[in-house]
A and B are shown apart, each in its own frame.
Chain A
Amino acid sequence: MLAVLHRSLMARSLAVRIVIGCVFIVAACGRSGATGGTLIVGAPTDPKKLFPPLYDEATGQAISEVVYDKLADIGPALNTVGDAGYQPRLAERWEWSRDSLQITFHLDPRARWHDGAPVTAEDVRFALSVYLDPAVASPKASELADELDSITVRDSLTAVAWYKRRSAEQFHELVNNLVPLPAHLLRAIPRDSLATSGAVRALVGSGPFRLVRWEDGQFIELAATPDFYRGRAALDRVVFEIVKEPTTTFAKLYGGELDVVDQFPASEVAELRKHAALRLERAASFFYGYVAFNLYDGASGRPHPVFGDRGVRRALTMALDRDAMARSVFGEVGVAAAGPLTRSQWGYDPSLPSIPFDRAGAARALDSLGWHVGPDGVRTKGGRRLAFTLLVPATSKPRLQMATLMQDQWKQVGVALDVSSLDPSALGPMVVKHEFDAFAGSFHVSPSPSGLRKTWGELPEAGSGYNPGRYGSPAFLAQVDSGIGAFQIPEAKRHFKAALETVIADAPGIWLYEAPNLVAIAGRVRTPPLRPDAWWSNLERWSFAPGAAPARAPSAKTP
């Protein structure tokens, strides 16, 4: 009897305790949602555009990609040939036609837009029409137009992509560039006013986070999509706070006001290491800096009096200690670029040759080419001084620092360098019109080396290429094209390697550095392994360590 009584008392007290516990949890939930906490990301730029067809810089891309799901996402190995490694997203599976000219995407029936409407095949078809519309002026349009003919709707959950031609990266080009868009919300808006319409700012997506508030110049607040088809994100909210002043960014990071700082500068690494509560993720670099020599005299078709000569270009490269330069500017994380690509691109081969640093050899080479040191210490040939101007964007501190180092090293071999740093708005048109001697630029590249065609292969006049120095080697272009056309990675690699050997030997430019891609993250934030090209790619699986979700501000009342 006593025992029974005791047991029931025990049970009651247990029940009471559970009830009380639930009340606490409910109270906490009522106050601040689930227990996931808010992640604050420091953004160095104010992304003006988040709409997938229109974003044009890294912060915008990050936000756009967590708000909108793609059909499939590139795998951690960053393979771009065929569909190996691709992970299903809005498309739960896909099939290729036998001739590879069609790919059929089967959409995940659970996928929903943030307003609750289902994601349908029509959204995929509609998206392509938006991307390709000239009135929208999407930077992705040319990539898609090169490959795709059309997308048709087989049924509400089945979309078929029809290709113009077979290519090794045809799958990548589609799923990487085309993001399904909510046709039911956007269809009624005239295309030429799409960019300025409220619908584009409202940003109704299909991804793990939805847009809550967008205060331009201040912050962009995202919240976990409650009934997300791939499972609700662990974090409650992610806020991208725009902090442009680097010193302020660091102060906020060290003070715990920021959890993630993207594009963390190498010059600040030593300081960051003093803060035990922070860790540094070194993501793969897809950004390299270079000097492009103008192979022609200004905008004309005459060969440049200095850079028209391959031997001079090689000697100029030889005079630079690029490894030391990268270390000087980027410290411990500095790496000289191996060629017109980064080591994270799959076209990279460790056995690529390079023009080694050899100051005496450079001097000898210039002597033998007829450039002899004059009375003022500068070489001349036929009355022409070996002097030229390097255009540097005033916004790029690493390249400005490198320019100083180049100036000094070239001076030692009798080459006079004049550095002209200009605002990008003034410098851009000069570069595009080839009105320069040498230009210190950088390229943001994709995991695939096929961009070589646009950056160093095709002449700008011949197509949509962006090749400021107008290096137009037919051999190089042919090898790149063979690489792009190859359907097997080993074969593609072989072609790209041959292409890279050609361009490195021709030295139409100097490949200065791979920009270190550093992400500083607060130690209390738990992340799965980050994808090397996009730290945000699995943001839905990030969380705060138990008990470490930031508490309410000390000044505020506790519930």
Chain B
Amino acid sequence: MSAATRRIRALAREAFPDWPSRVAIAVLALVLLAVLFAPLLAPYDPNALADFVRDQFLAPSMHHPFGTDQAGRDVLSRVMHGGRVSLGVAALSVVVSVAVGALWGAVAGFAGGVFDATLMRVSDAVLAFPRILLLLLMTSLVRAPSAAGIALLLGITSWPGMSRLVRAEVRHLREQDYVLAARALGVPWWRTLRTHLLPGVAPQVSVAAALAFASVIPLEATLSFLGLGLHPPAASWGNILLDGADQAAAHWWLVLFPALAIVVTVVCVNTIGERLQDAIDPRRVAP
């Protein structure tokens, strides 16, 4: 395991040599802190309305840096708390997608033959389904999707990509000498998979996970904006956007800040993810 730790350290040194990636890390850390510690840091209760007539649509000020919304709630506090939902959903969905995808791909790649072909056709089928449509149909099966439910849905619609990646890596590693040796020595297949193959694909998977995380945040926002995601009054970045969208012309702060939260976070995660990828495999044809 120490070899893996050392490798990760080396990667980190190699990965972030330039200022944009460091800025990205700093900004992302700031966002994560603000979101994680929202209950302590947020100036107001995100769902508390002081006086919903008097405090409605207050423009950004010292008291309300991001202004207030239609019900007089503090937009900054809502964006901070909403981030917990948005980022939490994104993280959980990536965990699901990695868990299912890695297992699926590893088993397919390791087993080969008909088993491999069958598993891959199933993942093809999920890939062939227009994703927005699949999500729409699946969310409609649930009465009122919870945050965890949305994460699950996002995860189980995104694992096929991950499974392809892992399968390709596993097939590549399977032919390596040390794996062939282990198999020749009669090490059971599941142990070979666990001790030799999965650690081997870990760096690729973690980078793919970071990039998937970055792509899921806008998707969750889109779903919420279409009314297919978490239902109000639960706040996520997409929901806050939806809440303010029809009043954006008169009250720009209702839309600008949640939108910025999404874009800034995603840009940072993408930057970091790409640098990591370059570090793992500089010759790989990918951004």
Contacts and interface: CB of A to CB of B under 8 A. Distances in A.
Are A and B direct contacts in the complex by CB distance below 8 Å? Answer: yes
Interface of A: 246-247, 250, 265, 267-268, 270-271, 324-325, 327-329, 394-395, 397, 400-401, 403-405, 407-408, 419-423, 425-426
Interface of B: 47-49, 52-53, 56, 70-71, 140, 143-144, 227, 231-233, 245-250
Given A404-B71, A422-B143, A324 B53 contact: yes
A420 B144 contact: yes
B73 to A, nearest CB: 8
Contact of B247 (A267, A325, A395, A405): A267
A401 B71 contact: yes
B248 A327 contact: no
Contacts of B140: 423, 425-426
Given A246-B246, A247-B245, A328-B56, A422 B231 contact: yes
Given A250-B249, A329-B70, 10 more contacts: A246-B245, A267-B70, A324-B53, A328-B52, A394-B231, A400-B233, A421-B231, A421-B233, A422-B144, A426-B144
A466 B97 CA distance: 45
Contacts of B248: 247
A265 B246 contact: yes
B233 A271 contact: no
14 contacts: A250-B249, A268-B247, A270-B250, A328-B71, A394-B231, A401-B71, A404-B47, A404-B232, A407-B233, A408-B48, A408-B52, A408-B71, A420-B231, A421-B233
B124 to A, nearest CB: 30
Main secondary structure of the interface of B (DSSP, over half): loop
The A interface is mostly helix, strand or loop, or mixed, namely helix
A324 B249 contact: no
Nearest to A408: B49
Contacts of A426: 140, 143-144
A393 to B, nearest CB: 10
Contacts of A422: 143-144, 231
B231 A404 contact: no
Contacts of A246: 245-246
A423 B226 CA distance: 12
A403 B52 CA distance: 13
Nearest to B71: A404
Contacts of A419: 232-233
A44 B231 CA distance: 22
A324 B249 CA distance: 23
Contact of A394 (B49, B71, B227, B245): B227
Nearest to B141: A426
Contact of B233 (A268, A325, A395, A404): A404
A420 to B, nearest CB: 5
B238 to A, nearest CB: 13
Contacts, number: 68
Contacts of B52: 324-325, 328, 405, 408
Closest 6 CB pairs of A and B: A421-B231, A271-B249, A408-B49, A328-B52, A404-B71, A324-B53
Contacts of B56: 328
Contact of B53 (A327, A400, A425): A327
A405 B233 contact: no
A395 B71 contact: no
A247 B48 CA distance: 28
Contacts of B250: 270-271
A327 B247 CA distance: 15
A407 B248 CA distance: 25
A405 B49 contact: yes
B233 A403 contact: yes
Contacts of A329: 70
A401 B231 CA distance: 12
A403 B233 CA distance: 9
A108 B173 CA distance: 87
Contacts of B143: 422, 426
Which of A271, A420, A425 has the most CB atoms of chain B within a 10 A radius of its CB?
A: A271
Contacts of B232: 394, 400, 404, 419, 421
A538 B227 CA distance: 36
B144 A328 contact: no
A407 B45 CA distance: 14
B147 to A, nearest CB: 14
A268 B52 CA distance: 18
A247 B246 contact: yes
Nearest to A271: B249
B227 A401 contact: no
Contacts of B233: 400, 403-404, 407, 419, 421
A163 B250 CA distance: 55
Nearest to A249: B246
Contacts of B70: 267, 328-329, 401
Contacts of A400: 232-233
A405 B246 contact: no
Nearest to A265: B246
Nearest to B49: A408
A265 B70 CA distance: 14
B71 A405 contact: yes
B233 to A, nearest CB: 5
B175 to A, nearest CB: 50
Nearest to A391: B144
A375 B52 CA distance: 27
A516 to B, nearest CB: 15
Contacts of B144: 420-422, 426
Nearest to B230: A421
A407 B71 CA distance: 11
Nearest to B140: A423
A118 to B, nearest CB: 48
Contacts of B47: 404, 407-408
Contacts of A397: 246
Contacts of A270: 250
Contacts of B246: 246-247, 265, 267-268, 397
B224 to A, nearest CB: 11
B245 to A, nearest CB: 6
Contacts of A401: 70-71
Nearest to A270: B250
Nearest to A419: B233
Contacts of A423: 140, 227
Contacts of A394: 227, 231-232
Contacts of A250: 249
A268 B244 CA distance: 12
B53 A395 contact: no
A395 B228 CA distance: 10
Nearest to A405: B52
A422 B233 CA distance: 12
A404 B73 CA distance: 10
A403 B71 CA distance: 10
B143 to A, nearest CB: 5
B204 to A, nearest CB: 39
Contacts of B49: 404-405, 408
A11 to B, nearest CB: 60
A44 to B, nearest CB: 12
B153 to A, nearest CB: 15
Nearest to A245: B245
Nearest to B55: A328
Contacts of B71: 328, 401, 404-405, 408
